[in-house]
Structure 1
């Protein structure tokens, strides 16, 4: 299991590696541009080479790029879909350059039929993948009200099918989002049952990464509010379950917690996650 967190790429892509190392990470997640702006950061071959060189000399073994929050590939507005496509293509381009997979919130259907929104999103995913080479596109399960897409395994599977079902399509599961969407993952038994359900509907071969976050809000709240590990509705038991789950063993498990000062996950929380993992592995032995 490659435990890590989201880190800043400010000052250059390669700077993210050092920030991950400082926190004791084996995996990192970055934005490839400002997460709340359409304007892309233009990276070139030299940036990619510097990143790869820094990573080769580090303990970091997996990298995720989180696509920007503005993207809504399911939008009814052609301009928003066009901007979303351009931004997603840029994320995949950077992913190709540095050997990273791209995590994306699938989008939302603000009006109209959900099935039509899924078809619109799928068409954008297909086009973006066709214009990139290697990076996986990992659709993240979501939590939210209204027409938010990806709140159930059935919707995730429908999105994958709408995108063509190719082998560069996968899923990133988020522990906070699962709980808020009604999947009871607060115990090892509950997580096992949930993953069995995921395997039946989507397939564990599609699972590419995990986001580990505790939840400020309770089971089925449909509210996406991350909490520090052990300080929310998952509690230590739920976090231990994720950190010792055998089916996550070879994956990047990335924390996106607020941190004690609301400035993100600290080295201390990464160390805490590793202690919880050791506790869970001992209990399973």
Structure 2
């Protein structure tokens, strides 16, 4: 949700579309140096969340961070940036930061992946430690490692990468996982089929255990299964398809899990209303084909 005009505006937007979960950027995700919210802004954000009814809130870390980088300078800057993000979340009362693991930027062999995994694990621990010195409530903030589309040398296209990071991290008790459906599809998990959905969940269970999954990014994929390209589509109109989302939202294992949209939205957020409506119809048992035909609110 947009935070234009103040962080609390994101909560107002969530309320306006009937959302029960929210993801925000606490700062400009395209800049390294960003100010910390004022105490007044933090109080206003916390009050807005409380008035909303305490719905689930997560932040998304900056896309600039690359904890897997072999460059020590880039790695150190990413640690400082993530520590500051964790500190801001402590101030705002946000319990989770969603983080892309990063790209190892080396060859495609197994050793390069393992080196990247261990860099991420060590730098996560360093960021948690540094954040504890920034804000007294930072110790209550955890990081959700997000699976990726597997583009280039990005870690996380294979969800086993996430498990290896968790296992190698001294602060593993503060780590969880966020599953992005569009990324999973693009990485080769065919969520349009029952077999593909089962394969993804078996991979997650084997890598980290389903208990570490704390959040879903529910996005359809504009690119085919296995394309390793990260482009999102509206629910039911991409390569995951309405039937794929029906499997997820009807899965009793995830009945209480928060799910957030990262699909394109206009100023009136009609697209979000439509996507939420389709997901709720699917959860209620509606026919996937009919639910996907609901295109009210989508722009040509």
**Common topology (TM > 0.5):** yes
| 2:269 matches 1:275 | no
Q: Partners of 1:281 and 1:93 in 2: how far apart?
A: 44
TM-score under structure 1 normalisation? 0.89
Q: Deviations over 1:231-258 (max 9, x none)?
A: 1011111121222222222221011012
CA gap of 1:156–1:281, structure 2 versus 1, over 3 A, is farther
| 2:22 matches 1:28 | yes
Q: Partners of 1:59 and 1:89 in 2: how far apart?
A: 28
Q: Deviations over 1:128-183 (max 9, x none)?
A: 12233111200000013321111112111111122225211011000011111111
From 2, 23, 30, the counterpart of 1:8: 2
Query: RMSD of the alignment, in Å?
Result: 2.3
CA gap of 1:264–1:201, structure 2 versus 1, over 3 A, is farther
Q: Secondary structure at the match of 2:153?
A: coil
How many residue pairs match? The answer is: 276
Q: Partners of 2:200 and 2:274 in 1: how far apart?
A: 29
In the other structure, the counterpart of 1:103 is 98
Shift in Å, 1:218: 1.1
Q: Secondary structure at the match of 2:172?
A: coil
| 2:209 matches 1:203 | yes
Q: How does 1:61-210 map to 2 (within 5 A)?
A: 61-100=55-94, 101-111=96-106, 113-130=112-129, 131=132, 132-164=138-170, 166-188=172-194, 190-210=196-216
Q: Partners of 2:120 and 2:79 in 1: how far apart?
A: 10
Q: Greater relative contact order (Cα 8 A, min sep 6): structure 1 or 2?
A: 1
Contact 2:162 2:207 in 1 (8 A): no
TM-score under structure 2 normalisation? 0.85
Q: Which has the larger radius of gyration?
A: 2
| 2:64 matches 1:58 | no
CA gap of 1:62–1:183, structure 2 versus 1, over 3 A, is same
Contact 2:164 2:207 in 1 (8 A): no
Unaligned runs of 5+ in 1: 1-6
Unaligned runs of 5+ in 2: 133-137, 289-300
